[in-house]
Structure 1
Amino acid sequence: MTGQGIDRRRWAAVVSIAVAVCTVGLALVPPAQAAPQPAPVASLTDLLDPPPPGSNDWNCRPSAAHPNPVVLTHGLLANQGNNWSYMAPRLAERGYCVFSLTYGRNPLAPPPLTQVGGLAPMEDSAAELAAFVDRVRSATGAAKVDIVGHSEGSLMPNYYVRFLGGADKVERYVGMTPLWDGTTVAGLDFLNRTGQQLGLGPAVGLVLDPLCVSCRQFLRGSDFLERMNSDGGPRADGVDYTMILTRYDELVVPYTSGLMDGAHNIVLQDGCPTDLAEHGAVAFDPVALQHVFNALDPEHPRPVQCLPVGPDAPTAR
């Protein structure tokens, strides 16, 4: 093969990876929602990054019924406000102290990507989460928190749990649309491996990493996932895991990548065939919310009512 042919092949691979990852990233943005009633603004931070209703009341004190504050972690290209506008107020109504953050921002990203998170390396985002959990524990007096995460937020916190000392500070871990084995969506794992075989690793990084370092970490076979699954798998001793999956997940491919050995694994359609929620809609799914309630309070489970849910999140709740 001529040098010119190799150059064309390398360039085509770089462009293919960049376009595919950007397309997937944009698809991860939760569906548009009707604007919720704004939470009371308590600080400049809230003005710049408003939390969802029901979240970040730093005067909240956990009750005997719900002693652990709930920390919500959003997905890629989302933020605390748009990812949790449905679940946060309903958890608060149930009597939980609810807290959320926007993690993994990229200050070099162009607008509107400056308003969303999950773009930084997941190791860095896990360090942000560690500091936030310590702040929540200090403010509430709680010894431990429970984590509820969606998409990237179902995966990234486990780096904190396993490698940054979080196992002693987290009691329950609920992941929605998780991906412990990564995703093969759009053939990105194949493109990533092909790029490495062609010696394109640095070139791919130049294209993708300035915008979204975490994107390649999601791909099956990535170094991040290899470490996460080391030493017998991702589950940390002493933490109670619940994984909530949907058969209609178009971004976690295959959806069974979200199964975790030793966890309470729930496929929404096993108990509710009329639930058609896809990846983003699970965070706005009343059936998924019932499973979250039961996972957070396993001593008082309630029967999960099956409801028809469309593939996309509704425009209002």
Structure 2
Amino acid sequence: MRALFSVGVALAVAGGGCAGVAGAAPASPEATPLTAIEACPASSAGGVPILLIHGTNATVEKSLGPVQQALLEDGRCVYGLEFNSMQPLSASVDYFAGAVDRIREVNHVTAIDVVGKSQGALIARAVSVRSADGATPPLRHVVAISGPQHGVSQTVAGVDITPIGARTPLFNLIDRAAMRDMLVGSPFMTELGRGPMTAPGVHYTMLASRYDQIVTPYSNAFVDEPNVKNILIQDGCEEDRAGHLAESTDPRTVDLVLNALDPVRHPVVRCVPNTDER
């Protein structure tokens, strides 16, 4: 039986529901209260709980809807929490670190899996390394879809948000704390980069697309560590040209997530032509 905990408010996002790291300023949703997180029902098919973290200017449905649906069809226990993706990344990391602890507590498990898209992928890694001092890692597997693990230098529509671009009037349209924090060389990225890129005992799968127009170069979504598997979705499937936004619904990307979390049940990764380079 499927088990979904998409508690919280999933508000409509202005500007077309961009699931990337930029977009028009939306009305940010209220964060799901951690006290609203309840235990997985006994009818769940088993496996560790999974937490989904959406991207900027998005919701769980917009960033990870097909992934969520596929996991539900697998009988997995899935937590989809909405949060204010325009707030400082440090606040989001605090929030999701608390969410991980709450999910572990109510389910009496030592570790959970996390799947993040874009900003959510960066948050997932930050949560994992923040908790690296614990005797038992609170995360088992982090799957990151086009996360700006080394920061971003520009955004969509040719609007430059580098420090030079920040001095132009255009920057006022997207001047939000999370945007600034994701810039290459920002205080947040600098501080995150001072420590280890990954946590011992945690497995990481980093997905990226050659046609990503937001996380550029796309290799910024990769991390060079022994416990990381970096996957370019075009490897073995050049006809999949899904860009940053299109990855949210890309069949191959969904299959790669399922394969990362459970390769025994999901050994096949489809190659489906995709011409959406957004």
Query: Which TM-score applies when normalising by structure 2?
Result: 0.77
Contact 1:126 1:159 in 2 (8 A): yes
Q: Alignment identity in percent?
A: 28
**Structure 2 match to 1:175:** 144
Q: Deviations over 1:255-304 (max 9, x none)?
A: 11111012100000112111111111112111011111111124555132
2:269 to 304, 308, 311: 304
**Structure 2 match to 1:223:** 187
Contact 1:62 1:96 in 2 (8 A): no
**Based on CA coordinates, which of the two structures has the bigger radius of gyration?**
1
Shift of 1:212: 1.8
- Would you say 1:189 and 2:162 are equivalent positions? yes
Matches within 5 A, 1:36-185: 58-61=39-42, 66-103=46-83, 105=84, 118-164=85-131, 168-185=137-154
**Structure 2 match to 1:22:** none
- Would you say 1:234 and 2:197 are equivalent positions? yes
**SS of alignment partner, residue 174 of structure 1:** strand
**Structure 2 match to 1:256:** 219
Q: Deviations over 1:219-239 (max 9, x none)?
A: 1111211122223x4212111
Shift of 1:135: 2.3
Task: Flag the 1:292–1:204 CA change in 2: closer, same or farther, 3 A.
Answer: same
Counterpart amino acid of residue 140 in structure 1: N
Shift of 1:57: 7.8
Distance 1:58 1:93 in 2: 19
Task: Flag the 1:246–1:212 CA change in 2: closer, same or farther, 3 A.
Answer: same
Task: Flag the 1:246–1:139 CA change in 2: closer, same or farther, 3 A.
Answer: same
1:276 to 241, 246, 249: 241
**SS of alignment partner, residue 52 of structure 2:** strand
Q: Deviations over 1:178-213 (max 9, x none)?
A: 112211224422426x75xxxx9xx999x589x621
Distance 1:312 1:123 in 2: 31
**Structure 2 match to 1:213:** 177
Q: Deviations over 1:68-111 (max 9, x none)?
A: 111000000112233232211210111211111012x2xxxxxx
Distance 1:303 1:93 in 2: 16
**Structure 2 match to 1:38:** none
**SS of alignment partner, residue 99 of structure 2:** helix
* Structure 1 runs, 4 residues or longer, greater than 3 Å off: 25-28, 56-59, 164-167, 298-301
Shift of 1:59: 3.9
Distance 1:73 1:101 in 2: 7
Distance 1:120 1:237 in 2: 29
Contact 2:17 2:62 in 1 (8 A): no
Distance 1:291 1:226 in 2: 30
Structure 1 residue ranges without an equivalent (≥5)? 1-24, 32-47, 51-55, 106-117
**SS of alignment partner, residue 142 of structure 2:** strand
- Would you say 1:29 and 2:18 are equivalent positions? yes
Distance 1:66 1:148 in 2: 17
**Structure 2 match to 1:114:** none
Tell me the C-alpha RMSD between the 2 structures.
3.3
Q: Deviations over 1:38-66 (max 9, x none)?
A: xxxxxxxxxx889xxxxx88443486x75
Shift of 1:130: 1.7
Distance 1:61 1:176 in 2: 30
Counterpart amino acid of residue 80 in structure 2: S
